[in-house]
A and B are shown apart, each in its own frame.
Chain A
Amino acid sequence: MSLVHITVFGLVAALISASRNSRRRGWGLLAGSVLAVYWLQPATPVRHFDFWLPTIALALTIFVWVATHRKTSFSVRAEILTALVIAVLVLAVGFTRYLTIGWHLTQTRPPNALSILVALIGLGLISFLLLWIRRKSQLGLWLLASIILGLFIITKSDPLATWVSSVARVWSGQLPELASSADMSWLGFSYIALRLLHTLRDQTTGRLPALSLREYVTFVIFFPALTAGPIDRAERFVRDLRVARRITAIQAVEGVTRIILGLFKKFVLADSLAMIALNATNALQVKSSLWLWVLLYAYAAQIYLDFSGYTDVAVGIGRLAGFKLPENFDRPYLKPNIVAFWNSWHITMAKWFRAYHFNPLTRFLLRRKPKLLPWMVIFLAQISTMVLIGLWHGITWNFLAWGIWHGMGLFIHNRWAAFLKAHSHLLPPSLRSSRAVKAASVLLTFHFVTVGWVWFALPEISLSMNVLGRLFGM
């Protein structure tokens, strides 16, 4: 999000929540979110991808709603009206094609109206097909989950993304030889995919609340949280959405203050630190271990300020729109152990993986026969959860290594905590709660996380090993 995006979103959010009418507010949020999906999508070299990628995101959202919605008090007429409004908005975005350059909502000229119309009719037919399948079996849910996961894997894997891009290039009459994984930069899909999977899963367990199409689409593509989260839960989001309250002075001040804080963290502090933060180029140029540490500390500070700055902006805009979005960070570098770190770093994502991978896997491993030893269950659950979190950032060896690093950290901490519990006489409570021990714990945890960033910041295992060696004078 640029400063222009943030300013416009802030004004739109305040304008929408200035209305006391909950219907008007609901439509405003839906329209704002649909248009934002197109506006935020960056240009890609593949012709019209900046139009079709957001359209696919919208289509998947509607399909998941079709496959998961509950027959409730929402009228069919209202749902059809919502679908039509979305279709009209998509067509309106497409019609900006006929305006002069600079007036397109997408980064490049949208495709012609006929192809958009054909696509919308196709999407409508697929929706009816999903409705029909839904009456017979749960096949639709599995199919959609597989498609979302498949698309997610494609966007996160460089070779697959390049291959899809080359196919798309052939389709659009461009040179496939120029295909690159960057062509598949699909803004916000990492977050959209997690929200969609969460609702698909909650539908099968019966935990998903009844949501109208308008509410569901707004939840999945809610414009303040589209680019960098937080990953809200449908049942919490809809509570805020259904409350019709005009914006109060406190909300406005809280929202604006939070946005300013976020802007300062992102655009002043993080962007400045980015100049000296560790990266693949400077990792090889730095002459001494000491400076390498400086660059690594700068990276640790930069990634926190960048990400938490964006969260502040999202929470602030959400506040202006009348929402209390969940927090994503809670002073993560001041935590005394790695478990506490993961309870305070990218909180909503960590909670998502805990709810949909760690807990079910732990339950499964504990129930299976023959039974595994408790430490084995913990090991498998923690390592696999952290590996998945690593791969969520991108399917590369380095993100895998980063996941294993944290998984091992969590496992070792778990064993250490169990050891201390069993041998409490070795470290009496008075010593455990002493300031010096706490400070040492914070310092150790911070450095464990910071050294782990070496895997995250660099693109290759060999380079990461090289840097790790030099950090410790080897």
Chain B
Amino acid sequence: MTNWAGSTNFSRPLAWRTVGNVLFRALVIFIVLNLGYALLNPLAFLGRISLYNLLYPGRSRLPYGSDPKRSYNLTITQLEAMLASHEIHRASKMSDEYRVLILGDSSVWGFLLKPDQTLSARVNSSDYQTSSGRMVRAFNLGYPTMSVTKDLLLLERGLRYQPDLILWFVTLESLPTWKQLDSPVTQRNPGPTRALIQRHNIRLDPQDKRFLDLSFWDRTIIGQRKQLADLVRLQLYGAMWASTSVDHHIPETYNRLIVDLPADDTFQGFGPGELKAGDLAFDVLAAGIGQAGDVPVLIVNEPIFISQEMNSDIRYNSYYPRWAYDEYRHMLAERCVVEGWQILDLWDMLSSGEFTESAIHYSPAGVEQVASLLGVAILEHANRIP
């Protein structure tokens, strides 16, 4: 066996012409490999290859992290890789399992919470059992961006894992039609998003400029080097996830949420009374419920922080002026009645002390309260089944 240095020592004389020939052949092979890769476009296939649920336990929430070195996690938007790293992707559902998917934004994902403090983890910790003896098992499919279209994408994928119930956390901020394609998950998965838009006649433009369609060159190995490196990084961080159970860096201190509010009564450019049902993506909710088919979907209007401080007569919090949120609740309730959707309105269930740095992020005690209500709702649904 030769060592590293020995492997680069040449015993025979070498001509520049030979070097040129070798370089030319290497270049040709490199170009052919890139072109072949671009034609095959195997990123989705590669995303499904995962050490999670094989060598490491699956992650209890989808991969997301702005500080990979400390959170042992990274933001990845490729749906196959996201789900392949999740614990839901493991062996098939047990016969005595009542499977619940929880969809939503960062409040469901569990921002500033440890994996065992999230809503799904707290529901699971209660070991709920349905009247037929099935164990309730909740899975966290929340992802920290606010767009119900992003949730719809995850719902569509989540259905492959045979859920018995879907809890879909929504809030006004996740519903404006113009915000639907702001989420990187929808932008970087243009094919599946467009398919859903077309299948359900959603009022979104399939040719929207925010979709990141890859050119041929973007699909080569060179063009996809970051995505490929991210897939490898996701696998490597799996070892750290398995060894530490850390998937989110929670700073020791952070800025508390804003309680003194500005005297601003507009909501994303809309003045009082200007927000209409057509401005909100209720059609995406309808699409999700339609997509779920026989699987019941419970829409949960998520708890929000309600300030009692400066200008709280104008606004509930930094997100919402009172009029806009009240109108949203009214429209949502009306739509639920008309469409026959099931809704659990938890908007004011948490006291102001149960929020962390944002009007939709709950403290562990807040999560506990929400989880206990979810438990009741889940059992109600589960026990309806004959």
Contact = CB atoms under 8 A, between A and B. Distances in A.
A295 B5 CA distance: 28
Interface in B33-78: 68-70
B8 A295 contact: no
A285 B246 contact: yes
Interface string A360-398: 000000000000000000000000000000000000000
B240 A272 contact: no
A187 B240 CA distance: 31
Contacts of A258: 5, 8
A253 B14 contact: yes
Contacts of A291: 239, 242-244
Contacts of A312: 4
Given A250-B14, A254-B8, A275 B19 contact: no
A282 B19 contact: no
Contacts of A359: none
A252 interface: yes
A286 B243 CA distance: 5
Interface in A255-300: 257-258, 261, 265, 272, 275-276, 281-282, 285-288, 291-292, 294-295, 298
B338 interface: no
Interface string B230-274: 001100110110111110000000000000000000000000000
B232 A276 contact: no
Main SS class of interface, B: helix
Interface residues of A, number: 32
A227 interface: no
B10 A253 contact: yes
B237 A287 contact: no
Contacts of B240: 275-276, 282
Contacts of B14: 248-250, 253
B243 A288 contact: yes
Contacts of A298: 239
B67 to A, nearest CB: 12
A57 B16 CA distance: 39
A265 B326 CA distance: 59
B13 interface: yes
Contacts of B8: 254, 257-258, 261, 316
Contact of A295 (B70, B233, B243): B243
A249 to B, nearest CB: 4
A327 interface: yes
A331 B3 contact: yes
Contacts of B16: 249
Interface in A301-334: 308, 312, 315-316, 327, 329-331
Interface in B1-20: 3-5, 7-10, 13-16, 18-19
A308 B4 CA distance: 9
B233 A275 contact: yes
A331 B5 CA distance: 10
A330 B3 contact: yes
B9 A254 contact: yes
B243 A250 contact: no
Interface in A235-250: 248-250
Given A276-B236, A308-B4, 14 more contacts: A249-B14, A250-B10, A254-B8, A258-B5, A261-B8, A275-B233, A282-B244, A285-B243, A285-B246, A286-B243, A291-B243, A315-B5, A330-B5, A331-B3
Closest 4 CB pairs of A and B: A291-B243, A285-B244, A257-B8, A249-B14
